[in-house]
């Protein structure tokens, strides 16, 4: 009789424990902007890579219960930017392959929200910086750097929702800048074969 009660209770307890979201993950939700399609574009093979140059992979740090907690992304941030860049380049007319003579590498140099907590107010500053580096088969190279800074103040304690909103906005802005900037596209179109 006790087994009939204990086993389902333990199962429910385990399932509810697995369903709980970890306290140190941020679930970012940036909007993805795509560029206009280039109708004059001849198909061009391109390899897209991503490199995370950040010293610390945490997106932010907050104090909770007198402990410093690292907040990290629920997905691989570098892969997210690579996938987004790949979608944008496909829309422009490129054929993305695992290996090609032409390459485009996205470097994630900075993505972090600094939280300064006071007694009654907080100040959050989010900084992000990426570099897009294009290489062509004939050895030409072009680099485009995109960066964003956003600052926000609030009353009482900053929380995960505030940090998630800031980071999602910054990522959305960077993605829009990538879509709106045509310098990499023009460079590859003129120099790649």
pLDDT digits (tens, 9 = 90+) for 84-129: 999 999 999 999 999 999 999 999 999 999 998 878 888 999 999 9
pLDDT at 191: 87
Neighbours of 161 (CB within 10 A): 9
* 23-65 pLDDT, tens digit each: 789 999 999 999 988 888 888 999 999 999 999 999 999 877 7
Contact 123, 60 (CB under 8 A): no
Paired with 107 in beta bridges are: 51, 131
Task: Answer yes or no: is pLDDT of 16 > 60.
Answer: no
> How confident is residue 10, by pLDDT bands cut at 50, 70 and 90?
low
> How confident is residue 14, by pLDDT bands cut at 50, 70 and 90?
low
pLDDT at 40: 86
Torsion angle of C-alpha atoms 46, 47, 48, 53, degrees rounded to 10: -130
* 159-173 pLDDT, tens digit each: 899 999 999 999 999
Contact 155, 120 (CB under 8 A): yes
pLDDT at 7: 59
The predicted model gives 57-78 an average pLDDT of 90
DSSP assignment string, 152-182: EEEES---HHHHHHHHHHHHHHHHHHHHH--
SS3 content of the chain, % helix, strand, coil (to 5): 35, 35, 30
Distance CA 184, CA 48 (A): 13
Helical packing angle, 160-180 and 77-92, nearest 10°: 30
From 3.40.50.10610, 3.40.50.2000, 3.30.230.70, 3.50.50.60, which CATH number describes the 30-191 domain? 3.40.50.10610
pLDDT at 140: 94
Q: What count of Cα atoms within 13 Å lies in the side-chain half-sphere of residue 51?
A: 9
Residues near 138 by Cβ (< 8 Å), separated by ≥ 6? 191, 193
């Amino acid at each position: 009789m006790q087994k009939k009660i204990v086993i389902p209770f333990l199962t429910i307890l385990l399932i509810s424990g697995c369903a709980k979201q970890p306290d140190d993950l941020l679930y970012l939700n940036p909007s993805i902007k795509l560029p206009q399609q280039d109708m004059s574009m001849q198909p061009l093979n391109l390899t897209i890579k991503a490199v995370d140059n950040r010293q610390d992979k945490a997106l932010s740090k907050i104090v909770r219960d007198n402990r410093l907690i690292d907040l990290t992304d629920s997905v691989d941030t570098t892969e997210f930017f690579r996938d987004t860049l790949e979608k944008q380049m496909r829309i422009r007319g490129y054929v993305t392959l695992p290996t090609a003579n032409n390459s485009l590498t996205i470097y994630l140099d900075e993505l972090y929200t600094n939280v300064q907590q006071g007694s009654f107010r907080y100040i959050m500053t989010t900084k992000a910086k990426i570099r897009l580096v294009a290489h062509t088969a004939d050895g030409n190279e072009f680099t485009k750097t995109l960066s964003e800074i956003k600052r926000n103040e609030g009353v009482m304690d900053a929380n995960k929702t505030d940090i998630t909103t800031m980071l999602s906005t910054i990522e959305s802005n960077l993605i829009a800048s990538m879509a709106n900037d045509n310098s990499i596209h023009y460079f590859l179109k003129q120099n790649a074969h």
